[in-house]
Structure 1
C-alpha cells in the first residue's frame, strides 16, 4: 500500500478501501483469498504499465474538467473489482463448514470466480489494446477504434483465458483442500464428506473451469459495455476515456472539442459495468458449480 501511494497508483481513499479489503480477505484460516487479491492487484498494476506510453497514444484520457490526466485508481474502482468477494468472505465466516460444507464450498468457488472474472477482464483490457489487429465490436462484429467499450480482439480473448487460468492456479496452490468434490458430498478435508487434497486431475479441471469463467466474464463485460456504456470518439477517431471510470460530463466534453457517439447507451459507467459483470459472473458460476459438482 505504501508503494501504491508513492507511485500514485491508488488514491488515498482507494488505499483505505484496499486496506479494509485486505483485512477482510485475511480473516479466514486459509491464505487463498488474500493470495487472490494480491495476485489480481500486482498483475493489474504491472500490466497497466506495459507499453503505457503506447496505450496512452491510442485513446484520449480526460478528467472531469476536460484536461488530460494520469490514471490513478480510486476507491470506487477498488470496490467494483473486490466487493463481491468481500461480501462472500463475510458470509463464509458465518457458515459452519463442518455442518454445512457444501454451502461453505460454493462461497469459496464464488470468491475464486469473482477474481477469475475481474483478473481476466483487466488483463484483456490492458494487453488486448496492444493487439496488432483491429478490434471488433462484440454486438456487430464491425471494426472499432482501440479502447472502444465492447471491442474485442483475438489477443484480448486469449489473454482473458490465461487470466482465468492464472487465478485457478493460485486457488489450487493456496487452498488446502480440493474445490472439486468427491464421493458425492463435499466436506473439509474429510474423505467421507467429499473433499480431499488436490489431485493432479482436480487441479487441471479447476484451472480449466476458472479459465472458462474468466473468458466468460471478459466477454460479458464487453457485451455490457457495448450496450450500456457510451463510447465517444474525437476528430482523430480516438476513443475518449474519463478519469476514475465515471460517466461523461457535458462540462468536460465541451473542453475536448468536437466529439461524436460511436456506440452504446449512456446508462452505465465503466465502474458500474465492471461491478455488474463481477456479480453476474460470480452468481452464474456458483450456480454452474452447484449443478455440475
Structure 2
C-alpha cells in the first residue's frame, strides 16, 4: 500500500518539477533543465528502495514517505548523492540488525529491524536534502568534479552533502556495532572515565573504527559514481578526485566525535538500577551518569549532521589547495 502511495506522490511531483524547471529556465537561461530520464529515475527508484525498506522493517510507513522525499531530491540533484544515500541506507540497515538479540536486552526502545520513522529519516538525511536543493539552485541537476578553483560554491555544497551523509552513516555504524562488540565499557568522551554501555557520549575503539568505516563506504560510493558519470575531459580538467574518499572518512569520524560531545553534554544519561540498563530520563532508582536533559537523540543526530556538513568543506578546501595538484 505504502509503495502505491509513494508512486502516486512521485508522479505529480515529477510533473511539477519538470514544469517548474522549464519555467525557471525561461528566467535563467544558464540553468540546466533536468533530462527526462533523470526525472523518471528520481521518481521511481526511491519508491523501490522505500518498498524494500518497508519489507525489511528498516522503515515504518512514515519513514518510507519521508525517505521517498529525501531520495527523490538527492537523486534528482546528483547521482553521486544518490549512490552515497543508497550505501548509507543499505549498510545502515544491515548493521542495525547486527546482533539484534543483544540489542533487545540493552535497549529500552528496541525495534526489530530498526523501523526508522519520519523523524529519524529527516534527522539523518534532512540536512543533506536541504544542501542538495541549494546545490540544484547553484549548479542544476548534474554531476560535476570537485574543483574549488573554478566551481567553488558547487564543490562546497557537494562536499557538504557527502560529509553530512558520511556523518550519519558513521554514527549509525558506531552505535550499532560498537554497542554489541567487545566486553569492556566505553569511555566518556569529555572525561575519559568508564561508563556503562549505551551512555550518550561513550566512545570505544570498536565504535570509533566503525564510524570511520561507515564514512569511508559513503566516500567510496560517491567517488565511484563520480568517475562513472563525469566525462574524461571534465576529470582531466579538474584536480584529482580521490580525496573524496578521504572526505567520507573524515565525515564519519568528525561526525561521530561531534555526536559524542553533544550527547555527553546535552543528553541525559542515567542508570536504572532495577532494569540494569542506561535510560535517557530522570526518575526513581535512576542514577545520573552524564548530561543535561536538553536534547534527544534525534536532535543530536540532526545537529551533528549539520555541523559536519558545514565544517568539512573547509577541510576539503585546505586539502585540495595544499596537497592536490
TM-score between both structures, scaled by the size of structure 1: 0.80
Distance in structure 2 (CA, Å) of the matches to 1:118 and 1:69: 19
Structure 2 counterparts to residues 1-80 of structure 1, below 5 A: 1-28=50-77, 30-61=78-109, 70=112, 71-80=114-123
Deviating above 6 A after TM superposition, structure 1's stretches of 4 or more consecutive aligned residues are: 97-100
Deviation string 1:173-231 (CA, Å, 9 cap, x unpaired) is: 0014899xxxxxxxx9175xx526x5xxx42x332332122111101100100000011
Distance in structure 2 (CA, Å) of the matches to 1:77 and 1:96: 29
Deviation string 1:137-165 (CA, Å, 9 cap, x unpaired) is: 11111111111100000000111111121
Distance in structure 2 (CA, Å) of the matches to 1:230 and 1:84: 24
How far residue 113 of structure 1 moved from its aligned partner, in angstroms, is 0.8
How far residue 72 of structure 1 moved from its aligned partner, in angstroms, is 2.4
Aligned to 1:227: 265
How far residue 279 of structure 1 moved from its aligned partner, in angstroms, is 0.4
The 8 Å contact of residues 24 and 89 in structure 1, kept in 2 or not, is answered as: yes
The 8 Å contact of residues 137 and 152 in structure 1, kept in 2 or not, is answered as: yes
What is the number of residues matched between the two proteins?
A: 259
Aligned to 1:95: 138
Distance in structure 2 (CA, Å) of the matches to 1:218 and 1:105: 23
Q: Counterpart of 1:261 in 2: which secondary structure? A: strand
User: 97-106 vs 146-155, which deviates more?
Assistant: 97-106
The 8 Å contact of residues 223 and 244 in structure 2, kept in 1 or not, is answered as: yes
Q: Counterpart of 2:270 in 1: which secondary structure? A: strand
Q: Counterpart of 2:76 in 1: which secondary structure? A: coil
Q: Counterpart of 2:288 in 1: which secondary structure? A: strand
1:164 maps to 2:202 = no
Question: Gaps (5+ residues) in structure 2?
Answer: 1-49, 321-325
Q: Counterpart of 2:279 in 1: which secondary structure? A: strand
Question: Gaps (5+ residues) in structure 1?
Answer: 62-67, 180-187, 242-247
Change (3 A) 1:100 1:20: farther
The 8 Å contact of residues 177 and 195 in structure 1, kept in 2 or not, is answered as: no
How far residue 111 of structure 1 moved from its aligned partner, in angstroms, is 0.8
User: 114-123 vs 50-59, which deviates more?
Assistant: 50-59
How far residue 277 of structure 1 moved from its aligned partner, in angstroms, is 0.5
Distance in structure 1 (CA, Å) of the matches to 2:174 and 2:95: 10
Deviation string 1:92-117 (CA, Å, 9 cap, x unpaired) is: 11114799722111111111111111
Aligned to 2:306: 279
The 8 Å contact of residues 177 and 189 in structure 1, kept in 2 or not, is answered as: no
Change (3 A) 1:50 1:148: same
Deviation string 1:246-293 (CA, Å, 9 cap, x unpaired) is: xx4x7xx6xxx6323221100001000001100001100122223443
The 8 Å contact of residues 219 and 244 in structure 2, kept in 1 or not, is answered as: yes
Distance in structure 2 (CA, Å) of the matches to 1:69 and 1:121: 18
